[in-house]
Amino acid sequence: MAGKIIDGKSLAAKFKEDIKREVGQLKEKHKVTPLLTAIQVGENPASRVYIKNQKKSCEEMGIDYQLHELPEATSEEELLQFVEKLNTDDKVTGIILQMPLPQQINGRRVQMAITPMKDVEGMNPSNMGMLVYGSPRLAPCTALAAMELLNSTGVDIKGKEVTVVGHSEIVGKPITLFLLSSILESATPTVCHIATRDLASHTRNAEILIVAVGKAGLIKGDMIKQGAIVIDVGINRVPVLDEKGKPVLSNEGKPKMKTVGDVVFEEAVEKASYITPVPGGVGPLTVVMLLRNTLTACKWQREKK
Ligand code: NAP
């Protein structure tokens, strides 16, 4: 029997309702409106799309949004000074640094300079540290999204064998720390990466499989345990193929593209008990987690006053 689809879009809609209500209460009771401030250095078409989505989502929630566009030639020192100005501006309650940054800037250094209370991406070492302590305040949005999708199944993860494929700082590592924190009761995570010798032996052992790599087709149906929960974080653009395996061309003669995850969905859905689709799984919820972090950050700053 095919697995149940975990619908990221409807879960995102539910969270949005809660955020909108809480933002409304903040405004009414405390005359405070969260302000998410984005910094974009130079031109980047991909960031344009994110910025447009962030702005739209904030507007829907009643959160103010502000974009600062700095020239491509901005030095690291200038950017650090700019961040410091935002850190001390009481009106700004959340700061987001759009990636990628120009070569001359060390992104990690700048991310570390964002004050923890305004770090809505959860990337400051102090916020990461709280995750290690099992008391997360602001955590990376994609990791939060993956955990909420898992939580939405209602399945108890306590003691479960979980395999996380990918160990990046923004996704795989924080997910692993969440799995060990007391929020949802500790699981038994195994973390795989590029040097893992026999990936399939670890994925086949997983009662819960979380994949965050960025390689289409990496996880095939025969690598999944019968009845496993599968959370596919990967986002990959691949050509659409016809029944003979040839690329389908658009009217302009260019290959038509589609978005897929790291898991071969059609095979995995036959083995999994629950599975997230791509698109429509982790993606829609990640944006919402940014909004939730923005609200959390605003409340945190208010409590500190
Ligand atoms: P990343 O920084 O490139 O990390 C990829 C990870 O995969 C690394 O830890 C790497 O290990 C590991 N890896 C690479 N090849 C592997 C293999 N063959 N077997 C096992 N592990 C392998 O990427 P990321 O930022 O974590 O993102 C991962 C994916 O999630 C991407 O497709 C990205 O687009 C997607 N994503 C989605 C969202 C969303 O909202 N849905 C948000 C963020 C990211 P090593 O470090 O050892 O090389």
Q: Look at residue 261 in the predicted model and tell me its pLDDT.
A: 98
| Residue 97 bridge partners (DSSP) | 39
Question: Residue of the nearest CA to atom 16 in ligand 1?
Answer: 194
Name the average pLDDT for the chain.
Answer: 96
CA gap 225, 205 in Å, rounded: 6
The residue contributing the CA closest to ligand 1 atom 3 is 213
Domain ranges, ordered by start, for the chain: 30-120, 141-284
β-sheet bridge partners, residue 94: 36
Tens digits of residue pLDDT in 111-130: 999 999 999 999 999 999 99
Q: In the chain, pLDDT over 90 holds for what percent of residues?
A: 93
Predicted local confidence at residue 183, as pLDDT: 58
Instruction: Tell the CATH superfamily of the 141-284 domain.
Output: NAD(P)-binding Rossmann-like Domain (3.40.50.720)
Ligand 1, atom nearest to 172 Cα: 26
How high is the pLDDT of residue 92?
98
Q: Candidates 54, 192, 193, 237: which one to mutate for ligand 1, based on the most atoms within 8 Å of Cβ?
A: 193
For domain 30-120, the CATH architecture is 3-Layer(aba) Sandwich (3.40)
- For 94-110, the pLDDT digits (tens) are 999 999 999 999 999 99
pTM exceeds 0.85, yes or no: yes
CA-closest candidate to residue 133, choices 168, 180, 190, 184:
180
Give me the long-range contacts of 174-180 (CB less than 8 A, separation at least 24): 174/122, 174/128, 174/131, 174/139, 174/140, 174/143, 175/143, 175/146, 175/147, 175/210, 175/212, 177/131, 177/132, 178/131, 178/136, 178/139, 178/143, 178/144, 178/147, 180/134
- Tell me the pLDDT band of 184, cut-offs 50, 70 and 90: low
Which atom of ligand 1 approaches the CA of 145 most closely? 40
Residue 116: which H helix or E strand, with range? none
Share of the chain above pLDDT 70, in %: 99
Q: At what angle do helices 172-180 and 141-151 cross, to 10 degrees?
A: 50
193 lines ligand 1 (CB under 6 A): yes
